[in-house]
Structure 1
Amino acid sequence: MDLFADLPLQLPDAQLDYRPHWLDAACADQWLAQLLVETPWEQPQVFLHGRHYPVPRMVAWYGDAEASYRYSGLLHQPLPWTPLLAQIRAQVEAVAGQPLNGVLLNYYRDGQDSMGWHSDDEPELGRNPLVASLNLGATRRFDLRRKGHPAIEHSLQLGHGALLVMAGATQHYWQHQVAKTAKQVALRINLTFRLIRT
């Protein structure tokens, strides 16, 4: 069920701009194909409970030279912008209404690749982080829950070419995830643009 059928999205203590058809299919297809082959994908390991675990997806971090980014105990040094990523950034900045100096690319190879519950609230993102999330490829369910509450409160289907901008106090009050699924799903690349404050 798409609990976000009503647009614009109205969630308490959140500022969300959801554009399900931001990109046309031909442009989304082209960007997806190019990013798949151009990106030097890595699968870093995180240290949890005394053991190292590979993150359940492939990643790459691009950005301005000063935009190093630490999350989950990992420090990511930025790769320089490619012409394509610079073009995408400019178009996303026009929607976001502010500069964005880094982008995290997550490559979900199938339904077993996932992203656990978290908020994008690292100190270098500032007080009210803006995160602009562009989805390319397979549709995956994006869940939101109130911090401190176990139940999913809202979900939406992020499809091919969809853009979701989270701003304001969203990261203070809400967590989000992309859960594993037993369904057969094709590959997906998600680009999350941010402003790293140095």
Structure 2
Amino acid sequence: MDLFDDIPLQLPDAELRYEPHFLSKDEASDWFARLVAETPWEQPEVYLHGRYYPVPRLVAWYGDPEASYRYSGLTHQPVPWTPLLAEIRARLVDATGQPLNGVLLNYYRDGQDSMGWHSDDEPELGRNPLVASLNLGGIRRFDLRRKGGSRIEHSLELGHGALLVMSGPTQHHWQHQVAKTRTPCAPRLNLTFRWIR
């Protein structure tokens, strides 16, 4: 274990917990290969400025039957949990001490796949949502900035088997992104677990 595992990141108006070695490399590699192969990936389109654009990554939404999730004008109906995703959910419920009834899988195939600036602050996530983000595969930079600001205030390298938990007032005050990069990078899978009310 790393000396700095599970030490909270000190950002004002945020509760962040980062565990770079939450999973062993072998377990992370096994989960990555299985999830990439068995997930029914989609690339939905979002409507922006009068035009439809495909989201710059592949996605899938799994969850309990009542856990439909709406963001960016898209409503995702949950695909039932697979045995593997149910096992991963149980591990994260244990790690966070919180119930979790849905997971968004994002598959970043290369450096041109990305996620723009946003907060996970949809009404169905409740007032102070907990989002548990499990990272498998290639390393990507995760940026944070103050809402209303344009300057990146903190960045993390999210690597293979790392867990980042955002909770408390974080989504009220901060936005995050995974920016496009020209630097060659391996495919990355990100699983963001949450509780849909």
Same fold (TM over 0.5): yes
User: What corresponds to 1:43 in structure 2?
Assistant: 43
Question: 1:16-39 CA distances to partner (integer Å, 9 max, x unpaired)?
Answer: 110000000000000000001100
Specify the code of the residue in structure 2 equivalent to 1:115: M
Specify the code of the residue in structure 2 equivalent to 1:35: L
User: What corresponds to 1:186 in structure 2?
Assistant: 186
Specify the code of the residue in structure 1 equivalent to 2:36: L
Question: 1:96-121 CA distances to partner (integer Å, 9 max, x unpaired)?
Answer: 11100000000000000000000000
Q: CA deviation at 1:95?
A: 1.3
Moved more, 7-16 or 166-175: 7-16
User: What corresponds to 1:163 in structure 2?
Assistant: 163
Q: Decide whether the 8 Å contact of 2:5 with 2:19 is kept in 1.
A: no
Identity of aligned residues (%): 76
Structure 2: which 5+ residue stretches go unaligned?
none
Structure 1 pair 5–112 and aligned structure 2 pair: CA distance change class (3 A): farther
Distance across 1 between alignment mates of 2:22 and 2:15: 18
> What is the RMSD computed on CA atoms of the aligned residues?
1.3
Q: Decide whether the 8 Å contact of 2:5 with 2:18 is kept in 1.
A: no
Q: Decide whether the 8 Å contact of 2:19 with 2:163 is kept in 1.
A: yes
Indicate whether 1:11 and 2:11 are aligned: yes
Q: CA deviation at 1:195?
A: 0.1
Q: Decide whether the 8 Å contact of 2:107 with 2:187 is kept in 1.
A: yes
Specify the code of the residue in structure 2 equivalent to 1:12: P
User: What corresponds to 1:55 in structure 2?
Assistant: 55
Structure 1 pair 6–34 and aligned structure 2 pair: CA distance change class (3 A): closer
Specify the code of the residue in structure 2 equivalent to 1:101: N
Structure 1: which 5+ residue stretches go unaligned?
none
User: What corresponds to 2:114 in structure 1?
Assistant: 114
Distance across 2 between alignment mates of 1:163 and 1:157: 11
Q: How many residues align?
A: 194
What's the TM-score, normalizing by structure 1? 0.96
Distance across 2 between alignment mates of 1:5 and 1:93: 18
SS at match of 2:67: coil
Specify the code of the residue in structure 2 equivalent to 1:9: L
Q: Decide whether the 8 Å contact of 2:6 with 2:17 is kept in 1.
A: no
Specify the code of the residue in structure 1 equivalent to 2:8: P
User: What corresponds to 2:28 in structure 1?
Assistant: 28
Displacement over 3 Å in runs of 4+: 4-7
